[in-house]
Every structure is written in C-alpha cells, then in structure tokens.
Amino acid sequence: MTRLVMRTRSKPYPVTIGGETKFICGCGLSATQPFCDGTHKQTRDEKEGTICWYDADVGRNEVADAFPNIRIPSE
C-alpha cells in the first residue's frame, strides 16, 4: 500500500517537556520519526506553486514531472 500525505511545513516543531527541548518533524521526511533529523533542509528551495514528492532516497520530484497534464494553481 502506498499513501501520499501533504505537508506544507519546512521546519520542525520545537517541544519542551520537563525542561528538555525536542524537535518534532514537521516536513514528513525525517528517517527518525517523530523527531527531526535535519532532512527538512531538502525542502527549502521548493518552488512556490509546485507540489513535490520525495522518493526513498529523499530525491525531489515534482508532481508535474509524473503527471505532465496537471496544472497547479498559483497561490
């Protein structure tokens, strides 16, 4: 089974519990879920108005690459 989940956040959520701060992954790409492993840096230069997906090696692809007839509305 394969599941696509949309994430728009490109940075972690800082959470402080008992005086200790942990960083929870907000981008969905961390290999150490639920914690951030820094992989969100791969999302920083995503182009506005595009939808990206990442393969198992965190290689970026755009939805339009797989479905060339999809038009993505600008925000």
Number of residues that this document lists for the chain: 75
Selected binder of ligand FES within 14, 15, 37, 53 (CB under 6 A): 37
Question: Could you give phi then psi for residue 23, rounded to 5 degrees?
Answer: -115, 115
- Determine if 60 is a binding residue for ligand FES (CB under 6 A): no
Examine residue 39 and tell whether it contacts ligand FES (CB under 6 A): yes
8/74 with CB nearer ligand FES: 8
Closest by Cα among 28, 37, 36, 32 to 7? 28
Residues found near ligand FES in the complex (CB under 6 A): 11-12, 25-27, 29-30, 36-40
